[in-house]
Structure 1
Amino acid sequence: MSLITIGINHKTAPVSVREKVVFAPEQMSDALRALVRLPGLDEAAILSTCNRTELYCNLQTPQQEGEIVQWLSEYHHFDGGDLRPFIYELADIDAVRHAIRVASGLDSLVIGEPQILGQLKSAYSTAAEQGTLGKLLRRLFQHAFAAAKHVRTDTEIGSSAVSVAFAAVTLARQIFGDVAKQHALLIGAGETIELAARHLQSAGIQELTVANRTLERAELLGKQFNAKAITLSDINQVLHEADIIIASTASPVPILGKGAVERAIRQRRRKPVFMVDLAVPRDIETEVENLNDVYLYTVDDLQEVVTQNMASRQQAATQAENIIDVQTENFMGWLRAQDAVNLIRGYRDRAEIARQSVLTKARRQLAQGRPPEEVLEFLAETLTNKLTHEPTTSLHQAAREGRTELINAACELLKLPYPTNDKLP
C-alpha cells in the first residue's frame, strides 16, 4: 500500500485556478465514488475549500499518481497538462506530515486558523458515509485530528487574533464576556464582514443583523448566518438595538454620524455599545469616539494587535512543528507495524499447526494407556523441537556464512545475549 496526497492550494496556484477545481458539496459523493473506481485505488477522501483541493488516497502502487492527476484534470475539464504545474504530490511520510499540518492550521493562509480542522472533519465524514475510507485513511485522519488537538492544547497557536475581524470579535468578548447574549449589527457585506459574522457565530451569538447598500447582498449573507437583512437606509431604525457594531463598506462618506449614535444611546438608556470601524475611509464619524458609553476602535487600533499576534503565532508555529514531527513518526511507526502483521500471523499460524499436531499425538498416547508423565515429557520435548528446529538451522547456516547481521537480529528478536566469536552456534 502507498499513501498519496495530490493537491493544489493557495501556495501553488492563483484563485483563478483554484476556483476551477473546487468540488461543490453536492458533487462530493459522486466524485468520491468515481475516484475509487480507478484501478488500484483502495481508499480516498477529498478536501475542498476556497484555498485548497486535496485528494488523499491509498494506492496499491505509487506509480498510479499520474492517473489520479489525470482524473482530477478531466473531472474539472482541464486540457492536457494545464493543471499539472500547480499540483503537488506527497507520498508516505510527507503525506502524513502534510495531513497533520493541515489539520493543525500550519498550512493555512492564516497560521493557526481553526476553520480548516472542521473542514477536514467534514471531508472525513463524507468519505466515511460513502464507504471510501479503509483502515489506513481512517487511522490517518483520526491521528491528524488528535495531533491538531495536541497542538492547540500545548501551544498558543490559536489563542491570539490574526485578522482584524477576529480581533474585533475578541475585543467584543473582552468587553461583554458572553457575546451570545448580545445583538450585533454588521454594516457591509464584503469578505471582512463575512469573516466577522463567522467569528461571531462561532462565539455563539444569537441575534445578528446585516445592513448593506443592496438588500439582495445583505440577504445572501444573512442566509449563511441566520441573520436579519436590511438596507443602509434602515440602520437608524435598529441602531439602538445593537450592542456590537462592526462596519466595513466602500462608502466614500461616513455611514454613521454622531447624532444618530447619540439618539441610539439615549434609547438604550446609556447601555454601552461596542463599535469597530474597519473601513478606509471611515464608516463612523470620528466624533463618535467622544461619546460616553461608546467603545470605538478603528482598523489602525486593531492592526497593531494583529501585528503583535502574528509574531506570537509564528513562535507558536515553531513549537507546533516539533509536535508534528513526533506525531508524524508515531503514525509511521504504526504504519510500519502493519507491514509485519501478515508475517506475525503466518508465524503464529505455523506454531499453532505444530501445537495441534503434537497435541493430537499426545492424546493418542494417553488413549493407548501411556503414563501421563511420559506423555507430558513427549509433548514438551517434541513441541520444543518443532518450534526451534528451523530457527536454529538458519542460525547455524548464518554462522557458517559469517552473516553476523542476521545473528544479531535474531538476538534482538529472541531477547538473547549477543554472542562472542567463540560462542557462535
Structure 2
Amino acid sequence: MPVDASKAQRIPRSTAITPGAGLVAVGLNHRTAPIDLRDRVAVGGDALAGALEDLIGRPGVHEAAVLSTCNRTEITAWGSAATAAESLIAWLGERAGLATDGLRPHIYTHRDRDAVRHLFRVATGLDSMILGEAQVLGQTREAYRVARETGAAGRVLCELYDAALRAARRARQEAGIARGAVSISFAAVELARQIFGDLRDKEVLVVGAGKMSRQTMDNLREQGARACFVANRSLPRAEQLAAEFGATVYPWDRLNEALGRVDIVITSTTAPEPVLKTTGVQAAMKRRRNRPLFIVDIAVPRDAEPQIAELYNVFLFNIDDLKAVIEENIARRMKDAAFAEEIITDEVAKFWTWLRSMEASDAIVQLRQWADAQRASELDRLIRKAPDLTPAHRDAVEEFSRRLMNKFLDPPLRGIKSAYRINWTTPPPAHAEGTGAWILGSLRHLFGLEHPSEPPGESRGLAGHEDAPAPPFAQGAEDGLDELDRRLCDILQTDFPLVPQPFAAISRE
C-alpha cells in the first residue's frame, strides 16, 4: 500500500507532552506465543500503513509504530498510557481472532522507561532468538520509516526511534555485539568470506533448495557474491529459489559441470547419501586445472564424501567445523552483550531526560506566552489612559514592563529547568522524578494555566503530588529583583490581595 503523502503531517512533530501521557509497548514474540499465533497477528509490508492508520484512530493512541518480523509483532505507542495499552491489546486480539482474555497470556506490556529499554534491546538484537543478529536493526529502521512517512510517528516516537537506532549502532561499533557468525548458514558464508576476502568477484553454487539454502542465498546476497547458481533434484524448487534471488539454475544432471566453473560450493540437501562424489570432484578439478575449490557441507547426513578433502587444492569443511566457530562466537557475544547493556542504559537515560525536558519546555513556552499577553494587555490599557506620553516615554514603559515580566518569571523558570536537568542513569530514587511533575502542577495551578488537552477553565491541580519534594526555587533562591521592582511589587500586593492565582487576579483588576 503506497504511502499517502497527504497524511504525512497528520500528526505533527510538535505533539504536546501532556500530563498523564506516556510510552507503552505491547506485543508477542517467539518466547511468549506459538508460531501459528504469531502468523495471525503479523503485518505484511504493504498492509503496514493501513494498520498504523487504524491504530491512530484507537482510544488513547496519539502516535504508533509497528515492528513485525517472523519472530515478533509489537506496537510502540505514545498516548494516554492506560487507555493506549488496552487499545493495543484489543487491536492485536482482533488480528488474532481472539478475545482479549484469551490473548493476554501470550503478550507482554512495557511502560515508560521499560518500554524505551525494550525497544533499544530489540533494535540491538539483545532480545532476538539469535543474540546480536543484525537483521532486526534493518527491520526496526523500516518500521520507523513507514511510521514517519504515514504520519503515525510524531515528535516523541521520532526521537525514540532515532535514539533506538543510535543505541544499536553504538552496540555494534563499541561492544561488537554482531561480531562472528552464530547460525550455520551465515557461518558457511562467513567462512568463505574469511578465506577469499571479497566475494564480489566469486561465483558460488548452492546445492539444495530448502530452508537452509534459502538462508545461505540471503547471506550471499548481503555479501555481494558476483554470481550464484542453484542445483537441486527438484527443478521447480530450484527455479523458484533462483528466481527469488536472481540466480541461475544448473540442472541436477549437470552438477559436476557446475563444479568445474564455480569458486565456492555450499551444499545442504536432505539426500540420504552423498551427492558430491570424490570421482566427480576429481574430474572437475582437472577441468579447472586445479584452481582451488572451496566446499562447505552443512547437510546432515553429509552431502560430500570425506575423501574429497584429500584432493589437491580442494578445501572441504563440514558442519562440525562450523559449530566450533559458532560456539566460540556465541561465547564472545555473551561477553559483548554485557557492554551493550551498559550502552543501552546510557542511551535510555539520554532519551528519558529529553522526554521529561520536553514536558518542561511546553510549560515554559505556555507560561511566557501567557505572561506576555497579560503584559501587553495592561500596557495597552495604560497607554490609552495616558495619550500624552511621548514615543520615548512609551518605549521606556514598554521596556520596563518587559524587564519586570522577565524578573517575575525568572525564579519559577529556573526552578523548572533545574528539576529537569538531572540525567538519571539508573531508575531514580523514590519520588525524585515527581519533582518536575510537582513543579509543573504547581505552575499551572498558581498561574491559572490550562493544559492544551484540557477544556477551557479546567486547569490541573496538585493531586497525586502531595508528597513530592519542595520545588528548588522555593529553597532560598534569589528573587533577582532590584529596588524599584520590589517597590512596585509592594504596591501591587497592597492593592490586590493575594489569592491562589494572584497574577490572574491582577489581570482581571
Q: 1:404 to 1:62 in 2, by over 3 A?
A: closer
In the alignment, structure 1 residue 140 sits paired with structure 2 residue 204 = no
DSSP-derived class of the 2:57 partner: coil
Q: 1:350 to 1:280 in 2, by over 3 A?
A: same
In the alignment, structure 1 residue 330 sits paired with structure 2 residue 350 = yes
In the alignment, structure 1 residue 409 sits paired with structure 2 residue 473 = yes
Greater CA drift, 263-272 or 279-288 = 263-272
Correspondence list, 1:115-154, <5 A:
115-154=135-174
> Residue 24 of structure 2 contacts residue 84 of structure 2 at CA under 8 Å; is this kept in 1?
no
User: Aligned AA for 2:183?
Assistant: S
The equivalent of 2:178 in structure 1 is 158
- How far is 1:154 from its partner? 0.3
User: Aligned AA for 1:83?
Assistant: L
The equivalent of 1:420 in structure 2 is none
Name which of 251, 255, 264 aligns with 1:235. Answer: 255
**Greater fraction of residues in helix:** 1
DSSP-derived class of the 1:275 partner: strand
Name which of 114, 121, 137 aligns with 1:94. Answer: 114
C-alpha distance in 1 between matches for 2:268 and 2:79: 48
- How far is 1:27 from its partner? 2.5
Q: 1:365 to 1:265 in 2, by over 3 A?
A: farther
In the alignment, structure 1 residue 244 sits paired with structure 2 residue 308 = no
User: Aligned AA for 2:23?
Assistant: L
> Residue 29 of structure 2 contacts residue 38 of structure 2 at CA under 8 Å; is this kept in 1?
yes
- How far is 1:53 from its partner? 0.7
Greater CA drift, 299-308 or 135-144 = 135-144
> Residue 365 of structure 1 contacts residue 375 of structure 1 at CA under 8 Å; is this kept in 2?
no
C-alpha distance in 2 between matches for 1:195 and 1:177: 20
C-alpha distance in 1 between matches for 2:326 and 2:84: 44
- How far is 1:146 from its partner? 1.2
1:41-70 per-position Cα deviation (integer Å, ceiling 9, x unaligned): 222221111111111222224233223212
Taking structure 2 as the reference length, the TM-score comes to 0.73
C-alpha distance in 2 between matches for 1:102 and 1:404: 34
- How far is 1:114 from its partner? 0.5
Unmatched runs of 5 consecutive residues or more in structure 1: 396-402, 417-425
The equivalent of 1:298 in structure 2 is 318
Q: 1:267 to 1:112 in 2, by over 3 A?
A: same
DSSP-derived class of the 2:132 partner: coil
Q: 1:45 to 1:415 in 2, by over 3 A?
A: farther
C-alpha distance in 2 between matches for 1:78 and 1:404: 43
Taking structure 1 as the reference length, the TM-score comes to 0.87
The equivalent of 1:206 in structure 2 is 226
C-alpha distance in 2 between matches for 1:135 and 1:228: 47
- How far is 1:25 from its partner? 2.4
User: Aligned AA for 1:255?
Assistant: V
C-alpha distance in 1 between matches for 2:351 and 2:81: 20
- How far is 1:227 from its partner? 1.4
What is the number of equivalent residue pairs in this alignment? 407
How much identity, in percent, do the aligned residues show?
37
In the alignment, structure 1 residue 319 sits paired with structure 2 residue 339 = yes
Unmatched runs of 5 consecutive residues or more in structure 2: 1-20, 416-466, 481-509
| RMSD of aligned residue pairs (Cα, Å) | 3.0
> Residue 359 of structure 1 contacts residue 379 of structure 1 at CA under 8 Å; is this kept in 2?
yes
Q: 1:362 to 1:206 in 2, by over 3 A?
A: farther
C-alpha distance in 1 between matches for 2:118 and 2:182: 22
> Residue 246 of structure 1 contacts residue 278 of structure 1 at CA under 8 Å; is this kept in 2?
yes
DSSP-derived class of the 2:156 partner: helix
